[in-house]
Structure 1
Amino acid sequence: MSYERARHDSLELRSLASDDRLEDEFSISSPALSSPDALISEQAHADAISLETLENTLSEVGLEDYMRVKRPKKLKYIHGLGLIVGLQIGSGIFASPNQVSSRAGSPGMALLVWVVSGVLAWTGASCYAELGAAIPLNGGTQAYLGEIFGPLAAFTYTWSTVTILKPGSAAIIALVCGEYLAKGLGINSTVAEKVLALTGLVAIGALNSYSSRSGAQAGKWFLVLKFVLLLFIFVVGLIGITQYRANSFLEAGFWADTAPIASTALALYGGLWAYDGWDNLNFVTGEMDNAKRDLPLVINSAMPIVIVSYVVVNIMYFGVLSKTEIEQATSVALTMAYKVLGSPGRVVTSLAIASSCLGALNATVFSSGHLIQTAAKERHIPAIFSHYNAKRHTPVNAIILQTVVSSLYVVVGEFRSLIAFYGSAGYIFYLWSVIGLIVLRFQRPDLPRPWKVLPTTPLFFSAVALCLVAATAFAKPIMFLGMVTFILLAVPIYLVKRYFALL
């Protein structure tokens, strides 16, 4: 971008900012700024994009078009809370308990796994809150790795996220949603379950393509539904405990048959899947009215709510169902509802769980679309996916890509294999990002940090995440090797991309 063009656009930015009608729309607040580079840098920071991205955009479309489509920051605290809680309380608490219980061995160890998983997710979310407040860019992990370790690190994450993490997560949720919707409708067909899963994916993709506000508003209603469902399960559990506790999992011995460490590590992945989503608000930090204030507040409100909810619900499961029933159940919630209330309870619970999964899917598609769009704007993937609908304020092409890739996973995928592959890959990048937080404190000690965690928090998260990844490598070496190989394919792809870009 030429100096003359930068100066012209910077002066125009200032004149626009001085217009009282546009005062709330544009973020140039200091009339003392006279350097074009400083003014452009200020606007890039205000829009939560990198300076390079803003310069490239201005050079391509000009200031007038940029300001015309400049998106308003509409997400507030309640939207963020709905996004995080709405994504976490989705399919995991209904699909994961049998995996956790069967691998943990005893009810005591299973509950401990749920607590440890929640605390680990909370510490990770707190670390991400510091990163998000210090580096308030859309893109989450991609933006942080790029800022701290450089473009190759960002591209490696982008490659893994676009191909594995986000579409894999959406596919898992959609599969669970399709399964429960089919059960609620009295359909017993794998093909029908996948058709319903694909229908849910397309519907949620269309909703988030229509309006980012619509997706956020839907998230609030889904959040209310989730808590109604959890309350229903709690009440059913209280009724069932009075009738069935004598033969329940809790009465089998609180610490009896505790599993070995390797199996417990796999149980942790089941728990962590249920808590997954704590990082999703960081993908849309640039959409928040006040990210520096609201991001830490959302994290520290959402995580204790979810942890307490999960522990209480699992106690209800364990007090009604036997160990065999839990291990054999596709959904412990469904099994418990049928045992206590009969067929009507199973139908109502199936439809309610399917709706809850739609809420989690809505949150996943919302955050994933913005991540993919940011990746395209940073030239990590084809620029066509950076298109932003000026009227709807939505990354339409990015959402379409997310929906298509997730649909492929639904067609060929299976729940357990997707969780194992997704979980181990995800925690490699979580570990890398939190190590980056430690590096950033030494690398840029003067960087403003409105929210700062204790030094022990990133150390604890890194240590546990490293042990978890190592345990998975020992427990499933072939799967782990294949996953690492797939991630490392990003390196030659990046080098080829750079080579042709320089030609």
Structure 2
Amino acid sequence: MTVDNMKKKALDTSSEGSDNGKVELKRTITLFNGVAIIVGSIVGSGIFVSPKGVLAEAGSFGAALVIWIMCGFLSLIGALCYAELGTTITRSGGDYAYILDAFGPCLAFLQLWVNLIIIRPTAQAVVSLTFAYYVLQPGFETCDPPKIAVRFLAAICISILTFINVFSVRAATRIQDVFTVAKILALIIITLTGFVMIGQGETEYFTFENTNPDVGKMSLALYSGLFAYAGWNFLNFVTEEMIDPYKNLPRAIYISIPIVSFVYVMANVAYMTIISPREMLESNAVAVTFGDKVFGVMAWIVPVFVSLSTFGGVNGLLFTSGRLFFVGAREGHLPDFLSMIQVNRRTPMPAMLFTV
């Protein structure tokens, strides 16, 4: 038996714990689940609001489209590197696990705690607040929803999803699957509407006129676009729970990034058919502005789709954050109790509760 086959056999061994007496996380994440985790984590609120930031720095719709394509290409390069890392270093934990192996415990410790204190909590809070805002918006047509209501609904969103993640890995991945399909459907509807507009001759805004030649501005436009692509590395946080990760991890990455890149570029094309540069720069939610101009009395459907998208984004963040803290505790960089697993549910319950 070759070394690679021995490694693969060890990795694919059942996680029931009957052989070594340990309670371990079970391998329940399929290829489809993996695609849903990546796509669902990337497609949050970014594509519905980031086009404004890209256009503001790029200066023209033509240059903005080029930026979106470049962002997809850069994300694909990063994702391919993570596909290689995920099949070489087969532990969960993503960036943290790779830094630990490559640079040692000091830098890994710092990276873990930056995620713990700043990156993960703020990201989950922002996405859940976005979810709550768009859920409440249809009921407040002439003003913004009350801040206390938005915060309360965001807290409920996080609490419900944490309970589901603690209760069952399969239930959490099912939620991710369903809401990923919903958000891709929303972008497909926007894209098809854009094609109809192009067929009607709505192409006057497709121009490179007023493109900003400043490299610094283009860099900021690229940054705004890359924000919308954030999340392509999230599947690497749950490598130990994937079925046959040697095959399914790379496949999930190869499938997900092209899908996201295509729907992002096409959604921007759709926006540009009907929204002028001035209107886009004045809008706080480009997709909502698009819905108001195109769907008429059905404009409420866009806030609903944004809500579904951000709800799935919160679930993806919670799912992967719990695994990150679980692995950090297992390596001794967080209190030991966070590395414990609920015996019956086979979920990292302490780490999940700590996350919420």
Q: Check whether TM > 0.5.
A: yes
Partner of 1:211: 168
Partner of 2:325: 372
Measured on the aligned residues, the alpha-carbon RMSD in Å equals 2.5
Partner of 2:272: 318
Matched, 1:347 2:300: yes
Matches within 5 A, 1:437-476: none
Give the secondary-structure state (helix, strand or coil) at the position aligned to 1:137: coil
8 A Cα contact 2:197 2:274, kept in partner: yes
1:268-294 superposed Cα distances (whole Å, 9 cap, x missing partner)? 222111111110010000111111111
Aligned match for 1:46, one of 11, 27, 44: 11
1: CA distance, partners of 2:177 / 2:86:
23
8 A Cα contact 1:239 1:340, kept in partner: no
8 A Cα contact 1:183 1:350, kept in partner: yes
8 A Cα contact 1:126 1:299, kept in partner: yes
1:155-192 superposed Cα distances (whole Å, 9 cap, x missing partner)? 01101111122222222221221221121333632332
Matches within 5 A, 1:341-490: 341-342=295-296, 344-403=297-356
8 A Cα contact 1:234 1:316, kept in partner: yes
Aligned match for 1:89, one of 20, 39, 43: 43
Matched, 1:190 2:147: yes
1:317-337 superposed Cα distances (whole Å, 9 cap, x missing partner)? 011101111111111111011
8 A Cα contact 1:102 1:327, kept in partner: yes
By how many angstroms is 1:197 displaced? 1.9
By how many angstroms is 1:65 displaced? 10
Give the secondary-structure state (helix, strand or coil) at the position aligned to 2:44: coil
Partner of 1:201: 158
Partner of 2:77: 123
8 A Cα contact 1:244 1:320, kept in partner: no
2: CA distance, partners of 1:400 / 1:66:
27
By how many angstroms is 1:396 displaced? 1.6
Matched, 1:329 2:283: yes
8 A Cα contact 1:103 1:259, kept in partner: no
By how many angstroms is 1:64 displaced? 7.1
Give the secondary-structure state (helix, strand or coil) at the position aligned to 2:301: helix
Aligned match for 2:27, one of 61, 73, 79: 73
Matched, 1:169 2:123: yes
Partner of 2:95: 141
8 A Cα contact 2:135 2:304, kept in partner: yes
2: CA distance, partners of 1:190 / 1:237:
34
| Gap change, CA 1:388 and 1:44, over 3 Å in 2 | farther
Partner of 2:231: 277
| Gap change, CA 1:270 and 1:194, over 3 Å in 2 | farther
**Percent identity, aligned pairs only?**
33
The one-letter code of the counterpart of 1:210 is F
2: CA distance, partners of 1:45 / 1:168:
37
Partner of 1:150: 104
Give the secondary-structure state (helix, strand or coil) at the position aligned to 2:342: coil
2: CA distance, partners of 1:94 / 1:303:
18
Give the secondary-structure state (helix, strand or coil) at the position aligned to 2:261: helix
8 A Cα contact 2:24 2:341, kept in partner: no
8 A Cα contact 1:183 1:347, kept in partner: no
Partner of 1:467: none
8 A Cα contact 1:170 1:364, kept in partner: yes
Give the secondary-structure state (helix, strand or coil) at the position aligned to 2:29: coil
The one-letter code of the counterpart of 2:183 is K
Aligned match for 2:245, one of 266, 291, 305: 291
Partner of 1:26: none
By how many angstroms is 1:241 displaced? 5.0
8 A Cα contact 2:25 2:347, kept in partner: no
Q: Which protein shows a greater Rg?
A: 1
2: CA distance, partners of 1:224 / 1:173:
18
8 A Cα contact 2:25 2:341, kept in partner: no
Task: Give the total of aligned pairs.
Answer: 347
Give the alignment's TM-score, normalised by structure 2.
0.90
By how many angstroms is 1:114 displaced? 0.8
Question: 5+ unaligned residues in a row in structure 1: which ranges?
Answer: 1-28, 31-40, 49-62, 404-503
8 A Cα contact 1:236 1:337, kept in partner: no
Aligned match for 2:194, one of 237, 250, 271: 237
By how many angstroms is 1:249 displaced? 3.6
The one-letter code of the counterpart of 1:140 is G
Give the secondary-structure state (helix, strand or coil) at the position aligned to 1:391: coil
2: CA distance, partners of 1:154 / 1:355:
34
Matched, 1:111 2:65: yes
Question: 5+ unaligned residues in a row in structure 2: which ranges?
Answer: none
1:221-270 superposed Cα distances (whole Å, 9 cap, x missing partner)? 11211122112212333455567937x643xx324232522222222222
Partner of 1:477: none
The one-letter code of the counterpart of 2:153 is L
Write out the 4+ residue segments of structure 1 that deviate beyond 4 Å after TM superposition. Answer: 41-45, 63-66, 239-244
2: CA distance, partners of 1:357 / 1:293:
29
Give the alignment's TM-score, normalised by structure 1.
0.65
